[in-house]
Amino acid sequence: MIRKSFLIYGVVQGVGFRPFIYKIACKNKLCGFVKNDSEGVELEVEGSEENIKIFEEQLHAQLPPLARIDTIKTKELEPLYEKSFEIRESSIYANNAKTALISPDIATCHECLEDKKKEGKYHNYFATNCTNCGPRYSIIKTVPYDRSNTSMDKFAMCESCLEEYKNPLSRRYHAQPISCNSCGPKLSLWHAQSKTAIDETDIFKKVADFIESGKIVAIKGIGGFHIVCDASNDAVILKLREFKNRPTKPLAIMCKDSVQIKSLACVNEKEEELLTSKEAPIVILKKSLFSYVKLSKFLAPNIDRIGCMLAYTPLHHLLFQYLNTPIVATSANLGDEPILTKMEDIFSKLPFIDFVLDFNREIINGVDDSLLQVVNGKTQTLRLSRGYAPKVIKLPFKSEKKILAVGANAKNSIAFVMGNNLILSPHIGDLDSLKAFEYFERTIETFKRFYDFEPDIIVHDKHPNYETTKWAKKQNKELVEVGHHLAHIYACKAEFGLSGDYLGFSFDGTGFGDGKILWGGEIFVGDERKYHFKPIKLLGGEKAIKEPRRVALSMLFDALSLEEVQELDLACVKEFSPENLKLLHQSHTKNLNAPQSSSVGRMFDAIVSFSDIAQTISYEGESGLLCESYYDENRTRSFNYAITDGVIDMKIVEFILNNKFDKKELNSMFINTLVEIIISISKKEKLKVILSGGVFQNKTLLELAACGLEKENISYFFQQQTAINDGGIALGQAYFCVKNNIG
Ligand SMILES: [Zn+2]
Ligand SMILES: [Zn+2]
Ligand SMILES: [Zn+2]
């Protein structure tokens, strides 16, 4: 007879871990107890040595789906000769060190979907859930994850739910959001214009009818409201685009099942795995040329991709009983503001909404849908949010100090380092609006509350005008500044736990560089920038970012006189009146409001302008997507380029002036040249390679670069589980501190 204690850390609370321990302890005839403590799970087992050994094996082999063990500490104890095994209540948080990790929200599991179909208390219940699925982060006010600390606290469990909640052998043992038709939250349907309630009978049939008849409905989900309409209806989508002031940015759709998705897009094995995973993200897929499902051409105009996700709550599944076409399901928000979580805000901020489907379980923490794609057989994360975040990265050592990394201004997320955990928040968004900035501050407060966290060090971007930088400087804490483009490289190092020197390609939009030049096409050896693209003057500063024609024109001015440019038969020149051309030329020669930038993102702009695909754009990354749409793998030519003293000069204008070309040729050549440059520098530097920054969201570029590096037997890394764009900056900032022993 021996007794052994275990302290287990990782994702072990609120994921069915204690009942799992109870089950395997009883199965192996062990006595003792299991309980949650502030840091994880504590348990003691007593029995024969052999049975304890089997118990330990099963502990690792049969873990519940959402649980994850990071570390286990064990100790042998004197036997107490107990008679049974029990689950004990959480201990009081004596040491006040709250570090138990919070699990993200998870799509409805198959068993819950079956329960919903059966007669009984879960029949057609829109919020059916269990320990293996359902809302988590979105309903938590503070830890420990107990019902009283969630927005389910106001719903008293009925007798039957309480029985399941208390039964360690039930799938719903301690499922904090457990509820049913008789005791749980209730649905309500509203006329958005008159703010009056509509009778709830056949509620899903009614909502489906509204959608099919071309109405716009706001539907409450896990982390916020979706704006929903018929994905095949051109008129309603154009109306939505006009109201949202979103002329071309792709809209994601939600489908009934994978059969439906496969009938409208090309889905490979890896993509299907992601679509049907417990995280249920939006996956960007290639549109099918022969779609069996009618889809509006205005969903993702001019590009060959479409973002699809599967129904992921019982509510969605109930709605799809009455719908045969996919629905547009885009986050309900105003411009760049955060996702709306309250019906009153839908009424006041989105006047174009016709109906609202609401329920009275409050969303405490808003979370957007996550956005992923598959590149070269690997996952690539474009937005880390519902299902994945808060995300924990284990550090191989403990940080002495508590670090808060505040991230970038666009696609913001924040990161926390405490002990050996690096915790990444869900996507917060672009911080240009006051509402978004409030949401940023609120998220910091939320995490501080979750973990009793007070930072010793705050790490921020070098950009003095980032809202995050300004905020950091007001906090009266020790500050650390990390260059934006190096932070991209460190984000990749963080995900893979890399140390030492790498060759880092940081290709991005325009970001703060050395004070004189905006960076965005930088190549690092270790922490030193060794190469960069030849800077282009951005005529009109900020304006140039929305107007590719200004970038193209600037490149022409680099090579030719004003008179020579005026003579050219190029669309980007004809876009401007002779007076404007003159003014822009002056701004070019005299460096007036013409900051220089080495950004690869801006070079994509120039290419779409030179090939006259777009002269102005309406969302970040649009040029990259357009360029990809015109990529033709049979076009193998590339531009000449020279590398002098680390400055890479791609001879785009030289080619344009001396050759005939079409749209496909120019766009293919540009991507081919970038790939050639990556391969040639990698061969020269003989280091392992990191590819990071927003430009690498370009699937064609990343795929070709990856294949090229593989062919040359060069090891390379790109972020898979964390955002490769500015959503990963906070992660890189935090890891920079950790790796450089600051903290
Ligand atoms: Zn479930
Ligand atoms: Zn109930
Ligand atoms: Zn960036």
- Tens digit of pLDDT for each residue in 677-699? 999 999 999 999 999 999 999 99
Report d(CA 219, CA 356) in Å as an integer.
Answer: 6
Mean pLDDT of 491-508: 96
* Cα of 636 from ligand 3 centre, angstroms: 29
How far is ligand 1, taken at its centre, from the CA of residue 32, in Å? 29
561's CB contacts (< 8 A; 6+ apart) are none
Tokens of 143: 């830890």
Distance from residue 623's CA to the centre of ligand 3 (Å): 16
Span 313-331, average pLDDT: 97
Distance 509 CA to ligand 3 centre (A): 6
Indicate the pLDDT class of residue 225, thresholds 50, 70 and 90: very high
Distance 614 CA to ligand 3 centre (A): 23
Dist. CA 223 → ligand 1 center (Å)? 17
Helical residues (DSSP H) of 330-410, grouped into ranges: 343-349
Cα dist from 659 to 568, 654, 675, whole Å:
13, 9, 22
Going from the Cα of 115 to the center of ligand 2, the distance in angstroms, rounded, reads 13
Q: How far is the CA of 152 from the centre of ligand 1 (A)?
A: 17
Q: How far is CA 535 from CA 89, 397, 538, 562, 650, in A?
A: 63, 41, 9, 20, 11
DSSP percent split of the chain into helix, strand, coil, nearest 5: 35, 25, 45
**pLDDT at residue 359, as a whole number:** 98
Residue limits of CATH 3.30.420.360 in the chain? 390-531+675-743
* Ligand sitting nearest the alpha carbon of 111: 1
Ligand number, closest to the Cα atom of 181: 2
Q: Which ligand is nearest to the CA of 693?
A: 3
In the prediction, which pLDDT does 174 show? 86
Distance 589 CA to ligand 3 centre (A): 29
Distance 407 CA to ligand 3 centre (A): 10
- DSSP line for 690-741: EEESGGGG-HHHHHHHHHHHHHTT--EE--SSSBSSGGGHHHHHHHHHHHTT
C-alpha distances (whole Å) from 274 to each of 310, 421, 552 are: 10, 26, 39
Distance 728 CA to ligand 3 centre (A): 8
- Ligand 1 center to residue 124 CA distance, Å? 14
Residue type, 98: K
Looking at residue 15, what is its pLDDT? 83
Proximal ligand: closest to the CA of 484: 3
Half-sphere exposure of 683 (CA within 13 A, CB side): 12
Cβ(381)–Cβ(726) under 8 Å? no
Please say whether the structural domain 187-371 has been given the CATH code 3.40.50.2300: no
Say yes or no to pLDDT of 13 above 90: no
pLDDT computed for residue 269 by the predictor: 97
Q: Please give the distance, rounded to the nearest whole angstrom, from the Cα atom of residue 725 to the centre of ligand 3.
A: 6
Find the 33 Cα to ligand 3 centroid distance in Å: 49
Which ligand places an atom closest to the C-alpha of 165?
2
CB-CB contact of 183 with 161 (8 Å): yes
Ligand closest to 508 (CA) is 3
Q: Which ligand sits nearest to residue 129's alpha carbon?
A: 1
Cβ pair 411, 723 in contact under 8 A: yes
Q: What is the CA radius of gyration of the chain?
A: 27
400 CB neighbour count, 10 Å cutoff: 11
Distance (Å) from CA 612 to ligand 3 centroid: 26
How many percent of the chain have pLDDT more than 90? Answer: 87
pLDDT given for residue 36 in this prediction: 83
- Kindly tell me if the per-residue pLDDT of 420 is higher than 90: no
Ligand with smallest separation from the Cα of 128: 1
CA of 68 to the centre of ligand 1 (A): 18
- pLDDT, position 10: 87
Rounded to 10°, the helix 622-629/663-685 angle is 110
Closest CA to 25 of 52, 3, 63, 65: 52
Dist. CA 1 → ligand 1 center (Å): 38
Average of pLDDT values for 360-376?
A: 97
Per-residue confidence (pLDDT) for residue 40, from 0 to 100: 85
Nearest to 328 by CA among 352, 347, 309: 309
Q: Pick the ligand that lies closest to the CA of residue 170.
A: 1
Output the CA 170–ligand 1 centroid distance in Å. Answer: 11
Q: Range with the lowest mean pLDDT among 60-69, 185-194, 544-553?
A: 60-69
Alpha-carbon gap, residue 29 to 236, rounded angstroms: 63
Spatial separation of the C-alpha atoms in residues 82 and 31, rounded to whole Å:
6
CB hemisphere CA count around 236 (13 angstroms):
22
The lowest-confidence range among 139-148, 468-477, 640-649, 714-723 is 139-148
- What is the 151 CA–ligand 1 centroid distance (Å)? 19
Report the SS3 class of residue 347: helix
Model confidence at 49: pLDDT above 60: yes
242 C-alpha to ligand 2 centroid (Å):
43
Rounded to 5 degrees, what are φ and ψ at 604?
A: -60, -40
| Ligand number nearest to the C-alpha of 489 | 3
The number of the ligand nearest the C-alpha atom of 161 reads 2
Question: For residue 461, how far is its CA from the centre of ligand 3 (angstroms)?
Answer: 10
- The predicted-structure confidence for 510-541, as pLDDT tens digits, reads as follows 999 988 999 999 999 999 999 999 999 999 99
pLDDT, position 93: 46
pLDDT of 440 > 90? The answer is: yes
Report which of 114, 106, 99, 91 is spatially closest to residue 43, judged by C-alpha positions: 91
Per-residue pLDDT tens digits for 588-645:
999 999 999 999 999 999 999 999 999 999 999 999 999 999 999 999 999 999 999 9
pLDDT, tens digit (0-9, with 9 covering 90-100), for 718-737: 999 999 999 999 999 999 99
Q: What are the C-alpha distances in Å from 497 to residues 100, 270, 362, 640, 716?
A: 22, 24, 37, 37, 14
What gap in Å lies between CA 327 and CA 263, rounded to an integer? 14
Q: How far is the CA of 227 from the centre of ligand 1 (A)?
A: 25
Confidence of residue 91 (pLDDT cuts 50, 70, 90): low
In the reported structure, the alpha carbon of residue 387 is separated from the centroid of ligand 1 by a whole-number distance in angstroms of: 14
Return the ligand number nearest the Cα of 127. 1
Q: Ligand 2 centre from 173 Cα, in Å?
A: 13
Q: What stretch(es) of the chain map to CATH 3.30.70.100? A: 2-87
For residue 488, the CA-to-ligand 3 centroid distance in Å is 7
Whole-number Å distance, alpha carbon 161 to ligand 2 midpoint, is 4
Report CA(270)–ligand 3 centroid distance (Å): 27
DSSP 335: T
| pLDDT in the model for residue 142 | 86
Distance of CA 495 to the CA centre of its chain: 14
155-195 residue pLDDT tens: 999 999 999 999 988 999 889 999 999 999 999 999 999 99
Question: Which residues of the chain are in CATH 3.90.870.10 domains?
Answer: 187-371
pLDDT at 205 over 90: yes
HSE toward the beta carbon, residue 568, CA cutoff 13 A:
24
User: How close is the Cα of 313 to the center of ligand 3, in Å?
Assistant: 33
How far away, in angstroms, is 367 Cα from ligand 2 center?
26
pLDDT one-digit tens code per residue, 270-306: 999 999 999 999 999 999 988 788 899 999 998 999 9
Q: Distance, CA 180 to ligand 2 centroid (Å)?
A: 4
List phi, psi (to 5°) of 490. -65, -30
- Say whether pLDDT at 94 is over 60: no
Whole-number pLDDT of residue 292: 82
Q: For residue 98, what pLDDT is reported?
A: 59
| Averaged pLDDT, 132-147 | 90
- Name the packing angle between helices 622-629 and 600-610 (round to 10°): 50
112 CA → ligand 2 middle, Å: 14
Question: How many whole angstroms from 121 Cα to the centroid of ligand 2?
Answer: 7
Expressed in angstroms and rounded, the spacing between residue 164 Cα and the centre of ligand 2 is: 9
Topology (CATH) of 2-87: Alpha-Beta Plaits (3.30.70)
Q: How far is the CA of 123 from the centre of ligand 2 (A)?
A: 12
Q: How far is the CA of 626 from the centre of ligand 3 (A)?
A: 20
pLDDT of residue 102: 83
Q: How far is the CA of 220 from the centre of ligand 1 (A)?
A: 19
Query: In this structure, are residues 340 and 349 in contact, taking their beta carbons and an 8 Å threshold?
Result: yes
Alpha carbon of 172 to ligand 1 centroid (Å):
8
Kindly state the DSSP code that residue 259 receives in the 8-state scheme: H
CA of 693 to the centre of ligand 3 (A): 5
pLDDT for residue 100: 64
Place of tokens 């900056």: 729
Per-residue pLDDT band for 311 (boundaries 50, 70, 90) equals: very high
Determine the distance separating the centroid of ligand 3 and the alpha carbon of 485, expressed in angstroms.
6
Tokens of 642: 């020279």
Strand ranges inside 425-576, DSSP E: 457-461, 478-482, 503-511, 517-525, 528-533, 536-537
Spacing, Cα 287 to ligand 2 middle (Å)? 43
Ligand 3 center to residue 642 CA distance, Å? Answer: 25
390-531+675-743 folds as Nucleotidyltransferase; domain 5 (3.30.420)
Instruction: Using DSSP, state whether 521 is helix, strand or coil.
Output: strand
What pLDDT score was predicted for residue 96? Answer: 45
